Structure 1
Amino acid sequence: MKLHLVATSAIALVVSACTSMGDAPLVTTAPATEIATEEAADATGLSALVDKVDIPYESFTLDNGLTVIVHTDRKAPIVGVTTYYRVGSKHEPRGRTGFAHLFEHLMFGGSENVENFDIPLEAAGSTSTNGSTNFDRTNYVETVPTGALDLALMMESDRMGYLLGAISQEKLDKQRGVVQNEKRQGDNQPYGLTFYTLLEGLFPVGHPYRHSTIGSMADLDAASLTDVRNWFIKNYAPNNVVLSLTGDIDAATARPMVERWFGDIPGGPEVEEVKADPVTLASDKTRELIDQVPQTRVYRAWTGPGLNHPDAVPLDIGMSVLGGLASSRLDNVLVRDEQLATSVSAYNWQSEDVAILIAQMDIKPGVDRAAAEKRLDEVIAQMVAEGPTEAEVARASTSLVSSQIDGLERVGGFGGKGSTLAEGLLYSDDPAFYKQALTQVAALSPAQVSAAMERWLSRPVYKLAIVPGERVESGADMGGWGDEGTVPAPQPDAKEPIEITRTGPPRDLPEPEDVGPLTFPTVERATLSNGISVTLARRTAVPKLVVSMQFDAGYSADGSERAGTQSLMMDLLEEGTTSRSAVEIAEEQERLGASIGTGTSLDTSSVTMNTLTSNLAPSLALMADIVRNPAFAEGEVQRVRDQRLAEIAQQLSSPGGLAGRTLRPIIFGEDHPYGTVGSLGTVPVVEAIGPAALRSEHQRWIRPDNAEIFAVGDITMPALRQQLEAAFGNWQAGAGAAPVKSLDTALPDATTRVVVIDRPNSPQSVIYAGRVLPLNGPTPGLEALELANEVLGNGFLSRLNMIIREEKGWSYGARSSVDAPAGPRLFTISTAVQSDRTADSIRLILDTAREFADGTRSVDETEFTRVTDGNIRGLPNRFETNSQVLRAIVENDQLGRPDDYYTNLPATYRAIDTAAIDAAAARYLGPDNLTIVVVGDRSEIDAQLETLDLPIEVRELSE
């Protein structure tokens, strides 16, 4: 929750500086259907498809300057409320870096009439209740049931107009602690100091994009209550805001609601325009940064033009061809052909005024660094000199447009239609700017891409290398203005008492209206001629289809002696078949606008495809080839195996990865299928896997009598069945029955203990605790347990998060979870806390769980309302996209639920009382027999942990 975001999406559907629309009259674009349903993905078809993409809107502006955009989408009774303030980190003065983001956190802390913004919103069924800050803006998003729109508008208006009377020194200090732990959490990751270093190398001191959005610790320490008040008055006026309402709403209904809540808020000063141009370095620059990383990562970076520049879209496509596509130049040369790298990428990191053009490479262990960097530079130089081919541009453009269509499924949240319209107006003075960008994509020529790449990538380059070693720099000192050490450090203003007074009359929160019955797509079933079952939920909002083939396998099929085998086999399905190479597979997906991915969860292995409905037949043919005919060629196996070893090394260098690998083998035991280190496996096992083992694994598990197909999207069952029959109907199982996993293997005795893994120079400790519950496999009637877990730790307003994050300020977040596998269920609690509060946090976790389980602190009425009424009201939000519906029908199948489970879920929740929730907590969520894994700096935490009076075991890193 309350994410810290610093980048816009790769294809910037937002451009340039925004000017207010002033007192423009109501404007309505031409009505149109949102998307065509039958278009081919060739060049002509792409243009036709883009022509049909539309987000019809109306707009109006209040007298105080608040601009409102309204888009009507009646597919679900929900409304996305998206609020954009034209202030970001580039507007911060020296000595106050990180302040825009800190203020975003404060905006959730309550206003004069709303004590806590999350409680009433979540109780009303809001989802995606969140906010983010980047260089250019701050935004707040929530998607609410239609009947809760009045409540959401009142709350957004209250923090816009009635905040100052509720901000105290205590609130500032608490949120400062949360933000500083957010910074520590990011800094604590492998390569966690990279972004700071890139900004330092590319921009001079004082450039608005030079300091990071999270800021420096010293500046965060210096932020004062006076700063808060001045920042609000200067930047948070309605004339600096775009409010976007998208979904089950229209302008005629919205306008009086908006005028009621926002109309009396006075306008304020316009946010000062910031001048920020791209920077051309005088000459090439090189820097080497030592970090606790498993392999060397190198970067090539340039600044580029802002969102409104005509080169912005060509650079998006060019960088995608260079290193964004699966068939990119860097992938083909450095990863596949010459195997100098385990991973590569290139992208246009786009902001309003500037871009950062980045190419990066993880050098394969054992490869000469100089040779690898030489080839990286040569591939980039060749791309700049020659430009892309027409086929490369077509694939990149088709992939991009297909991914943007996916975004049209969501009315609100980050990246939904509300954000698209708001950003278009904010940056380009045109809510429909997305159409300009997509039209430019569809018409783009190789020559245009080549010219843009030559203009921007032929300039001096910043070369950065992150090399393995002991970290010598501190993230606490990075992210600031850039002149630290040469001028006096910023000092906080004196904490003089500030009189906190109301700025307006009391306002009552509107009561949300009741929600109607949930409409869940009708589920249809069929069976292919070879026995594969097919489940379809038809939805026609976008002309796309998600198809997933699920196999009863997963990484629990490995056992400790074969850890990593199943997922490595699944990874290799896309790396060549008996008739297609890995490059041909990647290129064909891109041409079709399809995305095919393999996955391995605890119980299930899967191949999932997202494609345009019009291209379903060739997409299914490709998917079938991947599933049925993998080649497991020696060279590809060696390459992917090396990449897997690099992934394991990356996981071992991550504090969260270390904790996750450690917990399950301890509590399940290595003899149980669930006693696994995870899907990546172990180094000795992966090193020994060859083509023969992978072919055997494929033959055992990837077979039609072990498969089910699930689909959601724009197609009828007869049409789907016909095309699936053509792709999979003649697939026959081999000899013998499909294998079965032994999920009833005995478990070790459970005891409460602390297992410590040393990770020097860690500013935070990762705590990951868990135990096996007395629940095995699909078990009906566990909704009370799910609600109890929401009270304890599953959600922003849960007890664990509110105490450790919001009250204490020791962490960026804490959560608990109860999984739902085919075998024994696992209860876990996880958090990352500042190192000096490691033992205190463990005590809080144990005490909070104990108080709930023993009845000392039973579920209260506010919590009860939030988790029951809130879930009932929020159900329509959970099924907005094809992928969300797919997850739901797959989960219903795996847990043995009926098709109407979700339509009956409101009645199920209403039948649960506080006693049932307390009973579930008492039986399942207590602190007894928890194994507590702690990954941190032992020099900082050992003495603390000894005060816990618990058995302590120190473990070494294990591959």
Structure 2
Amino acid sequence: MKLFPRAPRTGALALALGALLGSAQAAEVDIAYDAFTLPNGLRVIVHTDRKAPIVAVNVWYHVGAKNEYAGKTGFAHLFEHLMFQGSENYRGEFFEPFELVGATNQNGTTNADRTNYFQNVPTTAVDLALWMESDRMGHFVGAIDQALLDEQRGVVQNEKRQGENQPYGRVWETLARARYPAGHPYSWTTIGSMADLDAASLDDVRNWFHTWYGPNNAVLVLAGDIDTDTARAKVERYFGDIPAGPSMAQPPVDVARRDASTRETMTDRVAQPRIYRVWNTAQYGEPDVARLQLFARVLGGGAASRLDRRLVHELKLADGVSASASAGELAGTFMVYADVKQGVEPERVEAVIEEELQRLLADGPTEDELAQARTVYEAAFVRGVERIGGFGGKADRLAECAVFTGDPGCFRAVQATIRSATAEEVRATARAWLDGGDHTLVVVPGERPPAPVDGSTADDPAMPRGPDGVPPPDPRYRTIATDVDRSKGPPVTDAFPDLRFPELERATLSNGIPVILARRHDVPVVQVSAEFAGGYAADAGRKLGTASFTMAMMDEGAGELGALDFAARAESLGASIGSGAALDGANVYLSALKERLDESMALFADVVRRPRFDDSEIERVRATWIAGIAQEKTRPNSVAMRLLPPLLYGDGHPYAIPFTGSGHEDSIRALERDDLVAFHRDTVRPDNATLIVVGDTTREEILPLLEKHFADWRAEGDGHVRVDVPQVGAPPAPRVFLVDQPGAIQATILVGQLVPSTMDPQALDFDIANGVLGGQFSSRLNMNLREDKNWAYGAYSFASGARGQRPWIAFAPVQIDRTADAIAELRREIAAYASGEAPAGTAEIERVKAANVRGMPGSYETASSVLSAIGGIVRFERPDDYVTTLKTRTESLPEEAVHAAARRLTPDALTWVIVGDLDEIEAPVRELGLGEVSVLDADGRRIR
């Protein structure tokens, strides 16, 4: 289960080991921990980090898709969902008590090797989190009945449909079958077979739980504002009396090395060909994995890598290329993939990949390339250890090492390998693994074949066979008595820590640029953002896409350095520099290691002040940009977001643009260098700039550096003029726009209208009202379409930030045969809520308020989140105490204000955009009688 759908995790090692130290100088940055084991076998790891009053609670069960067997594929992932459905002593959605205490980064994931559940909670809510996690570990089976099983089976099947409905969405299943022999534990996907999911019985579910989810098959990590003694006492109290389960053997390591090179081609509704080339490589914990990651970085892991240089910059045969190495518990993966430019034969790209691969295998990396790769890993590790929880945070890294190697600190061995690896060792390792045995999959544009019918694996002779019944518990373990009376339900959290938001220190450079500093000394990193008014909306009067294209070009060479040399220089410093645009603003940002701040700031200043806009780079990026627009039109969500805003705002409005910011092909083709220079001159200027600095620095340190690099910057021409954003009235009646996506197995439904600006005095009121309707997991739309009807993997609503009227949008990707039913439910929910027929209840309002207020300490854990909040203060002209006073303003908001905000929704003037197979959905949608129905193409042109 993922609260918000995301790309699959293709190997947790890429997170935990792909970002490790590359220099001895960074060795001071570590993840210190204590560990102990309860008598029942539960392994516990504690890491203390006092920077914020929050604790990451992360439970890993050593069971994943690889532990499944004939007729039971998809069970591990199904269980991930089921275990969010409450427990014997808490009957209800698992998320609800966590929303009330303000949990952040709460989710669960499953991959081939493990299942994990995690959340960050305020320090005072640790007892709640441990009670909930222990209750579903020790008291779960009795809570599951046939209705809940059927519900979550339907949700999982919609998750499967949602993945398969995306461009390239069937690649991973195809690669798994091709790379591993039948019956290998990695030869099927985590999502499993539809038929196996359909066949799952309550007895199957209960047996699976008793087999795999005992404390002796789990690791619990507590990271953050907690010490070992406190953790031990609490964990013993809540988990100590849970009996151990059987000690199950894991499948043996089987890399499944391949002797022959193989290939296949598949068609899909994609905008351009994509090449995947994969090798089976070393498993987790092997030093070869780290050396392969260094090799991958040199080959295709960065903007200055060899494949990028040849394919993207010199030959211009590909729009993007990447190489990576990751590892699972049984085997690893080395992958190269490339997006082939339209009109280019994939064979030409494959030939260059082979040529560069063989050259690097023959000669190995240069010392400079190897040093640069190490620095990239060093910087990524330093940045990564700032987060205690969430995907890839410190708790994740400790748990992963403990589960797969038995040593929570296994990342230190990888650090040593990264530091000590010589060019010859990297070359020899790559030659040992990449000399043949690869599989190439080429995806080309064409019709998407019908979704394969997933047959049951029960009779597949190659599949491993499961145990008869449940193996007996391991007798080595014992329980300890506790005083927890679970009949009383979860502990009530009645006190909450205060937000620790850094003080904003203001200054002004000698040329008048405002500076805002927020000190954060948690890691030796400094982040800087140069903020400018004028984003996508500044395209008004210009060629559509000018703002985004110009900002994207600014780091494609700056000062004396061309694009490749600039990228190489930034990587050698461990700096991350980029630029981009949003609806009402643009920014250039820097994340720098403190020890290299001056050199990194020089590069950053060049991007801000002296972007090159080289003609050759403009043409290269233009071609890739246009290919990206074509890609947007093949993705259901992005095509809908391209079409809905222009329909909401109307022709000529500065917001009547694709909210991807990418523009249209014709306007991007028409852009000239002078257009970029003019936008830069008019927008990226000192009299339109604010510099925000967050991180490990002081006023005394940072101001002289900013003066050095920016004080002599002077504005050219007339001052910046803000874009006038006029008000737009509501349409006189509902409108429905359909977009055909032949062969789609889901329909993507978006419905929206305009609501007042982010700067409106009642904006907070509306945000709370939206939280009740669709802003949280337990909100009405998601509970209806996901948890009750099982027609969607998720259904939510949101209002984007905007200086003018905001777009409010509800969305739901639903199974194709329930499109009209889902639309009817969305319309009913919105109408009943807005009219007051089903107004927000007190409990609903308080739940949303509580989640927002109590989640604030966790929401500002990282420097980047603080930087983003300050960016909002600048962009929307908020007072400096906006964040620190938000708690009081939210808590004091009366219910009537929320009801009044809900009435701003106008069910009789909604605009609907629905993307799906019109052969399946058009007639049923028309029969709903929502309003006038039009059919558009992916560019928004009316077909009928």
Cα shift at 1:718: 2.4
C-alpha separation between the residues in 1 aligned to 2:336 and 2:876? 44
Instruction: Tell me by how many angstroms 1:683 deviates.
Output: 0.6
Which whole-Å deviations, capped at 9, do the CAs of 1:311-344 have from their partners, x for residues lacking one? 0100111111111111111100000011011111
Give the conservation status (yes or no) of the 8 Å contact 1:517–1:903.
no
What aligned pairs does 1:467-546 form with structure 2 within 5 A after superposition? 467-474=444-451, 477=454, 506-546=487-527
For residues 458 and 939 of structure 2, what CA distance do their matches in structure 1 show? 40
In the alignment, structure 1 residue 78 sits paired with structure 2 residue 60: no
Verify: 1:456 aligned to 2:459, yes or no.
no
Give how far 1:781 is off.
Answer: 4.0
Partner amino acid for 1:652?
A: K
Please name the residue that 2:71 is paired with. 95
Secondary structure of 1:811 counterpart:
coil
Match for residue 180 of structure 2 among 174, 181, 203 = 203
Q: Per the alignment, do residues 186 and 534 of structure 1 end up closer, same or farther by CA in structure 2, a change over 3 Å counting? A: same
**Superposition CA RMSD, Å:** 2.3
Question: In the alignment, is the contact (CA less than 8 A) between 1:567 and 1:680 conserved in 2?
Answer: yes
Structure-to-structure mapping, 1:349-364, within 5 angstroms? 349-364=326-341
Match for residue 258 of structure 2 among 281, 286, 289: 281
Q: Which amino acid aligns with 2:59?
A: T
Cα distance change, pair 532–100 in 1 and its aligned pair in 2 (3 A): same
Distance in 2 (alpha carbons) for counterparts of 1:531 and 1:108: 53
Deviation at 1:271, TM superposition (A): 2.5
- For structure 1, which segment, 66-75 or 863-872, has the greater mean C-alpha deviation from structure 2 after superposition? 863-872
Q: Do 2:753 and 2:905's aligned partners in 1 also have CA atoms closer than 8 Å?
A: no
Q: 1:838 aligns with which of 790, 794, 819?
A: 819
Q: In the alignment, is residue 54 of structure 1 matched against residue 54 of structure 2?
A: no
Give runs of aligned pairs for residues 748-787 of structure 1, distance below 5 A: 749=731, 751-773=733-755, 775-776=756-757, 778-787=759-768
Is this contact kept in 2: 1:770–1:931, CA < 8 A?
yes
Distance 1:385 1:407, change over 3 A: same
What is residue 111 of structure 1 aligned with on the other side?
A: 87
User: How far off its partner does 1:459 sit?
Assistant: 2.1
> How far 1:906 moved relative to its partner?
2.0
Which one-letter code corresponds to 2:863 in the other structure?
Answer: N
1:10–1:316 CA contact under 8 A, matched in 2: no
Residues of 2 paired with 1:948 and 1:399: CA distance?
Answer: 55
| Cα distance in 2 between the residues matched to 1:173 and 1:870 | 29
1:711-760 CA-to-partner distances (Å, cap 9, x unmatched) read 11010112111111111111110021213312126567453111000000
Q: Residues 792 and 812 of structure 2 are in contact (CA less than 8 Å); yes or no, is this contact kept in structure 1?
A: yes
Q: Which of 842, 862, 869 is the aligned partner of 1:888? A: 869
Contact 1:14 1:424 in 2 (8 A): no
Measure, in 2, the Cα distance between the counterparts of 1:647 and 1:727.
34
Does residue 712 of structure 2 align to residue 730 of structure 1? yes
Q: Which residue of 2 aligns with 1:850?
A: 831
* 1:134-176 deviation line (CA, Å, top 9, x unaligned): 1110000011111111111000000000001100111011111
Instruction: Tell me the SS of whatever aligns to 1:200.
Output: helix
CA contact (8 A) 2:774 2:798 kept: yes
- Indicate the residue corresponding to 1:439 in structure 2: 416
What's the offset of the Cα at 1:508?
A: 2.2
Q: Map 1:549-698 onto structure 2 (within 5 A).
A: 549-559=530-540, 562-678=543-659, 679-698=661-680
- Identity among equivalent pairs (%): 42
Partner secondary structure for residue 506 of structure 1: helix
User: Post-superposition shift, 1:862?
Assistant: 3.1
Does structure 2 conserve the Cα–Cα contact (< 8 Å) formed by 1:14 and 1:423? no
Consecutive unaligned residues in structure 1, runs of 5 or more: 16-34, 36-40, 494-502
Contact 2:42/2:219, CA 8 A, preserved across alignment: yes
Q: Give the counterpart letter for 1:686 in structure 2.
A: I
CA distance in 2, matches of 1:794, 1:772: 17
CA contact (8 A) 1:545 1:610 kept: yes
Q: Where does 1:174-253 land on structure 2 (aligned, <5 Å)?
A: 174-253=151-230
1:302 equivalent to 2:282? Answer no
Following the alignment from structure 2 to structure 1, what is the Cα–Cα distance between the partners of residues 349 and 377?
A: 29
- Residue 13 of structure 1 corresponds to 16
Answer yes or no: is 1:925 the counterpart of 2:928. Answer: no
SS at match of 1:928: helix
Secondary structure of 1:410's counterpart equals: coil
Is it true that 1:370 corresponds to 2:352 in the alignment?
Answer: no
Q: Secondary structure at 2:909's aligned position in 1? A: coil
Preserved CA contact (<8 Å) 1:184 1:475: no
Q: What pairs up with 1:809-824 in 2 under 5 angstroms?
A: 809-824=790-805
AA aligned to 1:871 is N
| SS state at 1:953 partner | strand
Map 1:122-133 to 2 at 5 A: 122-133=99-110
Q: 1:506 to 1:747 in 2, by over 3 A?
A: closer
2:917 is aligned with 1:937: yes
Partner of 2:233: 256
- Report the Cα offset of residue 374 of structure 1: 1.2
Amino acid at match of 2:16: L
Structure 1 range deviating more: 400-409 or 795-804: 400-409
Deviation at 1:560, TM superposition (A): 8.1
The aligned residue for residue 338 of structure 1 is: 315
Deviations, residues 480-516 of structure 1 (Å, cap 9, x unaligned)? 86997x999x9xx9xxxxxxxxx99634211113113
Q: CA deviation at 1:692?
A: 2.3
Q: Distance in 2 between matches of 1:347 and 1:291?
A: 24
How far the C-alpha of 1:305 sits from its partner, in A, is 0.5
Q: Tell me how far apart the structure 2 counterparts of residues 622 and 436 of structure 1 sit (CA, whole Å).
A: 33
Task: Identify if the C-alpha distance between structure 1 residues 661 and 73 changes in structure 2 by more than 3 Å, giving closer, same or farther.
Answer: same
- The answer to whether the 8 Å contact 1:210/1:482 transfers is no
One-letter amino acid of the structure 2 residue matched with residue 816 of structure 1: S
State the 1:916 CA deviation.
Answer: 2.3
Are the equivalent residues in 1 in contact too, given 2:124–2:497 (CA < 8 A)? no
Gap change, CA 1:393 and 1:938, over 3 Å in 2? same
> What is the match of residue 471 of structure 2?
none
1:383 deviation in Å?
1.6
Is 1:63 the counterpart of 2:45? The answer is: no
After TM superposition, give the deviation of residue 475 of structure 1 in Å.
5.4
Mapped partners of 2:161, 2:138: distance in 1: 32
TM-score, normalised on structure 2?
Answer: 0.94
Q: Is the 8 A contact 2:13 2:284 kept in 1?
A: no
Deviations 1:182-206 (A, max 9, x none): 1111111111111111111111110
Instruction: Give the Å deviation of 1:370.
Output: 2.3
Task: Report how far residue 870 of structure 1 moved.
Answer: 2.6
Instruction: Compute the displacement of 1:855 (Å).
Output: 1.9
Identify if the C-alpha distance between structure 1 residues 9 and 582 changes in structure 2 by more than 3 Å, giving closer, same or farther.
farther
- Contact 1:299–1:361 (Cα < 8 Å) also in 2: yes
For 1:346 and 1:563, locate their aligned partners in 2 and report how far apart those are by CA, in whole Å.
33
- The residue aligned with 1:719 is 701
- Alignment CA distance shift 1:242-1:834 (3 Å): same
Alpha-carbon distance between aligned partners in 1 of 2:804 and 2:374, rounded to the nearest angstrom: 44
Deviations for 1:238-278, whole angstroms, at most 9, x for unmatched residues? 00010001111111112221111111110010132111411
**1:388 maps onto 2:370 in alignment:** no
1:152-163 to structure 2, matched below 5 A, reads 152-163=129-140
Change (3 A) 1:520 1:945: same
Q: Kindly indicate whether residue 928 of structure 2 is the aligned counterpart of residue 948 of structure 1.
A: yes
The alpha-carbon deviation at position 390 of structure 1 amounts to 1.3
CA contact (8 A) 1:758 1:935 kept: yes
